[in-house]
Amino acid sequence: MGRGVDVAEKEQVNHVPPPVVIDPTRQPIVVVDDLHIKYKVYGTVKEKGTGASALGRLLRGRSRPQMTEIHAVRGVSFVAYKGDAIGVIGTNGSGKSTLLKAVAGLLPPATGGVFTDGQPSLLGVGAALMKDLTGERNIILGCLAMGLTPDETKEKYQEIVQFAGLRKGFIKYPMNTYSSGMGARLRFAIASARTHDVLLIDEALATGDAKFRRRSKRKIEELRKNAGAVFLVAHQLDVVAETCNRVLWLDDGQLVMDGTPEEVIAAYTEAINK
Ligand SMILES: Nc1ncnc2c1ncn2[C@@H]1O[C@H](COP(=O)(O)OP(=O)(O)OP(=O)(O)O)[C@@H](O)[C@H]1O
C-alpha cells in the first residue's frame, strides 16, 4: 500500500528554488546553488538511548547499527564576489562548518552545486600543522605546502614570525608546547603569507587576544584586496562586524538572511535573545 504524502512533504517535493542571480557588474568568485549536504551516520538513533533499551537490543541480537542521514545544509544559495569578506553566523549545529567544508570541496553535495573561481583554502581550528615539529619547521613546511618556492619561503619567514607574535623563543619549541591560542596565531600567520583565491577561516581567530584580532582584521582586509573572497565562521559577532562586509545567517541548515553585518547581526541577536 502506498504511503500518503502530507502537505509539508508535498511542498518540499514540488519546491523549485529560485535560480541564483549573478550581478553582471561584479566578478563572481563562489556560486552556491541550492546546496544540500547530508552526512551518513551509523547508529540506532530511532530507538531510545537508555541503558535498559541498549541492553535489551544487545540481548535480542539487534545491536547492529543502522544508517541514518543528517541533513546538515538544506537548500543554501548565494554568490560571493571578488573582494567580499563574508561572515557566517548561526547557533551550534546550524551548518556553518559544513557549508565551509563544502565550499572548500571537502564534502560532496547531495544535490545542488558549488562553483569556485580558483582554489579554495580552508583554515580550520584543526588545520594540519605538525605538533611534534617546532614552529620554525612548521612555517617552512607550511609555506612549501602552500606552493611557495624555497626563496619565497625565506623571504616570508620573518614576516610570519612577527605576525604570529609568539612569546619569546617559542618559535624554536615544538608546537605541542603551544597554547591553543598560540597555535591558532601561527596557523593564521602561515596561511595569510600568500594570497588565496578563496580563503575559508573556520573559528581560527577565536582564540586570539584583542591585539591579535586587530592585526588579523588588518590582514584580512589586505587579503580581501588581493584574494578573491574570504569567508569567516565566528561566534564572536564583534569580530564578524569588524571584519566582514557581508554576513550569512544559517539556522538548521538553511539560509535565514544574507545582508550587511549591521542588519543581519541585529536580526540574529534579536532572534537568539527571544
Ligand atoms: N562528521 C559529521 N558526521 C555527522 N554529522 C555531522 C558531522 N559534522 C557535523 N554534523 C552534523 O551536521 C550539522 C551541522 O553541523 P556543523 O558542524 O556544520 O554546524 P556548525 O554551525 O558549524 O556548529 P558549531 O557552531 O557548533 O561549530 C549538525 O547537526 C551536526 O551534528
Alpha carbon of residue 196 to chain centroid: 15
Ligand 1: residue whose CA is nearest its atom 27: 92
Nearest CA to ligand 1 atom 7: 39
Q: Which atom of ligand 1 is nearest to the CA of 203?
A: 27
Strand order of the sheet with strand 111-116?
66-81, 28-43, 111-116
In one letter, which amino acid is 82?
A: K
C-beta neighbour count of 236 within 10 angstroms: 13
Q: Where are the domains of the chain?
A: 81-272
Residue nearest to atom 6 of ligand 1 (CA): 39
Residue nearest to atom 4 of ligand 1 (CA): 39
Residue 124 Cα to ligand 1 midpoint, Å, equals 14
- What span, in angstroms and rounded, lies between the C-alpha atoms of 112 and 93? 21
Rounded Cα distance between 168 and 182, Å, is 12
Q: Which one of 37, 96, 237 would you pick to mutate in the ligand 1 pocket, going by the greatest count of ligand atoms within 8 A of its CB? A: 96
| Residues 249, 253: Cα–Cα separation, whole Å | 10
Residues of the chain with pLDDT under 70: 1-17, 43-49, 61-65, 124-128, 204-207
Residue count (the chain): 274
CA 181 – CA 211 distance, rounded (Å):
12
Task: Name the DSSP class of 147.
Answer: T
Q: Which of 35, 41, 68, 70 to mutate to test the pocket of ligand 1 (most atoms within 8 A of CB)?
A: 70
Q: In this structure, are residues 259 and 266 in contact, taking their beta carbons and an 8 Å threshold?
A: no
Ligand 1 atom with the shortest distance to the CA of 40: 4
Position 105 scores a pLDDT of 93
Which residues have any ligand 1 atom within 6 Å of their CB?
A: 39, 41, 70, 72, 90, 92-98
User: Cα of 251 to ligand 1 centre, how many Å?
Assistant: 12
Residue in the structure block whose three cell numbers are 564578524: 240
- Predicted confidence at residue 81, as pLDDT, reads 95
pLDDT of residue 64: 64
Nearest ligand 1 atom, CA 233:
22
What pLDDT is stored for residue 101 in this prediction? 94
Residue whose CA is at the smallest distance from ligand 1 atom 24: 92
**How many CB atoms are located within 10 Å of the residue 67 CB?**
8
| pLDDT recorded at residue 20 | 87
From CA 164, how far away is CA 139, in angstroms rounded? 11
pLDDT of residue 183: 87
Asked if the ipTM is above 0.90, the reply is yes
Look up residue 80 and give its amino acid. Answer: A
Cα of 200 vs centre of ligand 1, distance in Å, is 17
**Whose C-alpha lies nearest to ligand 1, atom 26?**
92
Distance 95 CA to ligand 1 centre (A): 6
- Among 45, 67, 94, which is best to mutate for testing ligand 1, by the most ligand atoms less than 8 A from CB? 94
pLDDT of residue 2: 38
Among protein residues, the one whose CA lies closest to atom 28 of ligand 1? 93
Q: Give the ranges where the chain is alpha helix by DSSP (H).
A: 7-14, 51-59, 96-103, 135-145, 150-164, 180-191, 210-226, 237-243, 261-272
Residue 4, pLDDT score: 43
Q: How far is CA 146 from CA 18, 127, 190, 196, in A?
A: 37, 13, 9, 10
Residue 151: half-sphere exposure toward Cβ, Cα within 13 Å:
0
CATH of domain 81-272: 3.40.50.300
